[in-house]
């Protein structure tokens, strides 16, 4: 009987212990705890805290994460240097001294909050609580206000909304709205930033304006700060290729290096001195600039911009100035001395920067605020010339943009579309309410994916026809121009390997395009997924390669317009129910005249990794640009590896370099996706690899055109030996690999 009573009491104690450490708790009182396998959950259910093991680690760590969010992302770790043994398990406890501790299986402390009082507040054992707040902050407090310790003061690699980042007086150029060196445009529109500098503390923090958006910042192992965003409206943030130019009045220090896009030597003034007895230096105003490095700068919060300029003119070492705060018309003075570094053009998110330059006879675009300055009074002739040229530039600017102003400002978007429709094509126009109903109010359940223009949703029209609806995103860098371009080009194209445009819709600020629905989504959805890639057998992949080639040949040669796509990549290759490829997304495409071979642009668009060298570095594009992108796609399809993710650390090579090395070492089949080894014809695989390498050669003139590519793929044309590809090393340079003496001959692998 006693034994039975003992058992019952023991079971009751276990039940009480379980109830006390239930996952529904958001706080712990003194002597309460949670064991490994149990969790704390914030009151709003957003955050959860418990023990976990990262990857293949055998240690257990106390961490905090978003409760119902995938992928699983740990936001904060307590015992990051002292894990608990996986076999013994761990316990998080608020001990009798009011200190949070983690105990291992031997009841030894491996981590603690290490605070018993703060700010003169004495900890009373039973009045101390530990709580996981709705912000993700684990706090140790007495009562509702007196916080003794908080996890926000000890961040790991993640910066959460509300966290303070500070105690460093060299935190960068804060202009009252944001750090000018932090150009994440789509996210800035959804966030509120704060920079506080007082006698007691200096810190930066951010808050989320759109509560449907989840965004944190993580410090990577390489020292980069990256944003992690969970949202239904995430914008694609593909990297851009940098281009350097010298400022007016400055020339490259090393022109030879500059001409081959090696810019590290920088620029220097045309005139050796910008100071002296005859001080005729002035300032050029550069708009939308990321401010230079502030390690050699000086600031004053009370001075205005005119006073700032005068002060800079008095010092021969002063090279530039700007406002410290751009709010409310601007205030404060920030001066730079000697050389300036790390200036960049950040459209929409930069600010005005005044660079000091010597005045020359042909250098008249000097912009100095404060018309009463002595310098300006003695240079009336310069001002007259400036006024004349300014007036001329305004007239030219207005005339060039007349059609755009007429379309965008004087008329609604539907009238712009109406003129476009009458002029270029007959395209069905859908009512916005129909598309709202078809997509279930653009439900996240219906979302198929997202590109540079915006998200794409599956829709079902009233007649039961399934469509794909591309909706413009407000945070997209693309807009009406790309919308019109897509309509004007793709509506005129008819080919089985091009996606079919069914109609469009413009409603107030909404711009939408309707396409035929592709049940198998895009190519990258399959080949870069470990499970789905197994469904793409060699016959499918070979058919996809041939279909893309036929589609490009039609664009380049067989359609009534010669079209350069400029954004060929796996995500823009859609797959129908039979896995047939269809090229999509013509928003960045351009047309060529019949005799035109090449064009040049200052605004590079597209996706890094698929860009050829001549476009990424010099802005030149042609049909051979699409050929290069096609070659990258071919090598991705064969290997199952993504160009932007693959890296061979042993040889410091990316995917192109890896394929090239295997080719010149007579091992081309090692490039093939291992899932295909038992179900492919090796001669076909090698022929495709050969064609892919010919397409990604460094020089455009060495690459075949698409008509030759199709003949090569069909085995109807001999293949020349490929030369080294462009951008094939790990760091993006084009260093040459010395081919082995046992070089392959094209005739060894061409199927007959």
Catalytic residue IDs: 567
Q: How far apart are CA 675 and CA 56, in angstroms?
A: 25
Q: Is the peptide bond before 71 cis (omega within 30 degrees of 0)?
A: yes
What does the angle CA 159 – CA 341 – CA 350 come to, to the nearest 5 degrees?
60
Q: State the virtual CA torsion across 285, 289, 292, 298 in degrees, nearest 10.
A: 60
Characterize the bridge pairing of strands 466-471 and 455-460: antiparallel
CA distance 442 to 445: 8
Strand 333-337 relative to strand 297-300: parallel, antiparallel, unpaired? antiparallel
DSSP string covering 463-510: TS-EEEEEE--TT-S--HHHHHHHHHHHTT---TTBPPEEEEEEETTE
Rounded CA separation 654/729 (Å): 6
550 neighbors 497 (Cβ within 8 angstroms): yes
Could you give the CA distance from residue 114 to residue 103 in angstroms, rounded to a whole number? 14
* Structure tokens, 569: 């990549």
Beta strands in 104-231 (DSSP E): 109-112, 128-132, 138-142, 146-150, 158-159, 165-166, 191-197, 202-208, 214-219, 225-230
Classify 679 as helix, strand or coil.
coil
CA 183 to CA 177: how far, in whole Å?
Answer: 12
For residues 706 and 549, is the Cβ–Cβ distance under 8 A?
yes
Residues with Cβ within 8 Å of 632's Cβ and at least 6 positions away in sequence, in order, are 569, 609, 610, 643, 655, 656, 692, 695, 696
* Buried residues in 637-656 as b, exposed as e (16+ CB within 10 A): bbbbbbbbebeeeeeebbbb
How far lies 345's CA from each of 191, 227, 267, 617, in Å? 22, 21, 16, 17
Cα separation, 272 vs 281, in Å, equals 12
CB 202 within 8 Å of CB 168: yes
Q: Which residue carries 């080009």 as its tokens?
A: 489
For CA atoms 16, 21, 23, 26, give the dihedral sign.
Answer: positive
Contact predicate 522/548, CB 8 Å: no
C-alpha closest to that of 450 among 470, 466, 478, 467: 470
């Amino acid at each position: 009987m006693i034994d039975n009573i003992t058992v019952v009491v023991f079971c009751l104690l276990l039940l009480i212990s379980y109830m006390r450490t239930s996952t529904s708790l958001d706080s712990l009182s003194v002597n309460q705890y949670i064991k490994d396998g149990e969790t704390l959950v914030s009151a709003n259910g957003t955050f959860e805290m418990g023990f976990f093991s990262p990857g293949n680690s055998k240690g257990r760590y106390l961490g905090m994460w978003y409760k119902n969010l995938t992928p699983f992302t740990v936001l904060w770790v307590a015992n990051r240097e002292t894990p608990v043994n996986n076999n013994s398990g761990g316990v998080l406890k608020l001990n009798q001294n009011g200190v949070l501790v983690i105990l291992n299986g031997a009841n030894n402390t491996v981590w603690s909050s290490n605070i018993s009082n703060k700010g003169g507040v004495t900890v009373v054992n039973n009045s101390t609580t530990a709580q996981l707040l709705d912000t993700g902050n684990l706090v140790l407090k007495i009562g509702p206000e007196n916080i003794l310790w908080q996890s926000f003061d000890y961040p790991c690699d993640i910066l959460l909304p509300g966290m303070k980042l500070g105690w460093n007086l060299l935190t960068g150029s804060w202009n009252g709205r944001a750090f000018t060196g932090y150009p994440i445009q789509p996210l800035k529109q959804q966030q509120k930033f704060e920079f506080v500098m007082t006698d007691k503390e200096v810190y930066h923090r951010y808050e989320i304006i759109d509560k449907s958006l989840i965004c944190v910042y993580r410090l990577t192992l390489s020292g980069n700060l990256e944003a992690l965003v969970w949202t239904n409206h995430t914008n694609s943030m593909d990297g851009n290729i940098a281009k350097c130019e010298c400022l007016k009045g400055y020339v490259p220090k090393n022109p030879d290096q500059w001409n081959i896009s090696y810019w590290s030597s920088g620029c220097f003034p045309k005139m050796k001195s910008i100071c002296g007895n005859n001080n005729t230096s002035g300032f050029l105003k550069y708009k939308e600039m990321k401010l230079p490095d502030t390690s050699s700068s000086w600031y004053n919060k009370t001075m205005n911009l005119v006073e700032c300029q005068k002060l800079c003119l008095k010092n021969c070492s002063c090279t530039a100035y700007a406002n410290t705060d751009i709010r409310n018309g601007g205030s404060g003075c920030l001066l730079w001395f000697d050389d300036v570094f790390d200036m960049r053009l950040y459209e929409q998110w930069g600010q005005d920067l005044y660079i000091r330059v010597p005045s020359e006879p042909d250098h008249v675009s000097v912009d100095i605020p404060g018309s009463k300055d002595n310098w300006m009074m003695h240079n009336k002739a310069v001002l007259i010339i400036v006024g004349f040229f300014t007036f001329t530039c305004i007239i030219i600017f207005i005339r060039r943009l007349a059609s755009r102003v007429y379309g965008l400002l004087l008329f609604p978007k539907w009238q712009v579309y109406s003129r476009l429709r009458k002029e270029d094509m007959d395209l069905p126009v859908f009512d916005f309410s129909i598309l709202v109903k078809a997509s279930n109010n653009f439900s996240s359940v219906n979302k198929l994916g997202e590109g540079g223009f915006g998200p794409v949703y599956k829709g079902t029209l009233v007649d039961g026809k399934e469509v794909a609806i591309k909706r413009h995103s407000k945070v997209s860098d693309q807009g009406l121009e790309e919308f019109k371009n897509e309509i004007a080009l793709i509506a005129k194209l008819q080919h089985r390997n091009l996606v079919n445009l069914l109609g469009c819709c413009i409603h107030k600020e909404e711009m939408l395009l309707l396409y035929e629905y592709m049940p198998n989504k895009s190519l990258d959805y399959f080949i870069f997924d470990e499970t789905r890639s197994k469904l793409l057998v060699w016959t499918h992949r070979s058919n996809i390669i041939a279909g893309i080639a036929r589609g490009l040949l039609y664009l380049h040669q067989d359609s009534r317009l010669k079209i350069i796509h400029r954004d060929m990549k796996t995500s823009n290759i859609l797959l129908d129910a039979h896995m047939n490829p269809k090229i999509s997304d013509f928003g960045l495409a351009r047309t060529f005249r019949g005799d035109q071979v090449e064009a040049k642009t200052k605004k590079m668009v597209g996706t890094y990794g698929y860009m050829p060298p001549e476009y990424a570095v010099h802005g030149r594009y042609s049909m051979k640009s699409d050929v290069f992108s096609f070659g990258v796609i071919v090598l991705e399809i064969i290997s199952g590896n993504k160009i932007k993710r693959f890296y061979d650390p042993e040889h410091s090579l990316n995917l192109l370099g890896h394929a090239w090395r295997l080719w010149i070492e007579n091992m081309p089949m090692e490039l093939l996706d291992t899932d295909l080894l038992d179900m492919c014809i090796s001669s076909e695989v090698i022929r495709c690899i050969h064609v892919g390498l010919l397409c990604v050669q460094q020089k455009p003139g060495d690459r075949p055109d698409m008509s030759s590519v199709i003949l090569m793929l069909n085995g109807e044309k001999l293949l020349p030996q490929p030369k080294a590809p462009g951008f094939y090393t790990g760091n993006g340079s084009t260093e040459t690999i010395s081919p082995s003496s046992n070089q392959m001959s094209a005739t060894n692998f061409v199927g007959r």
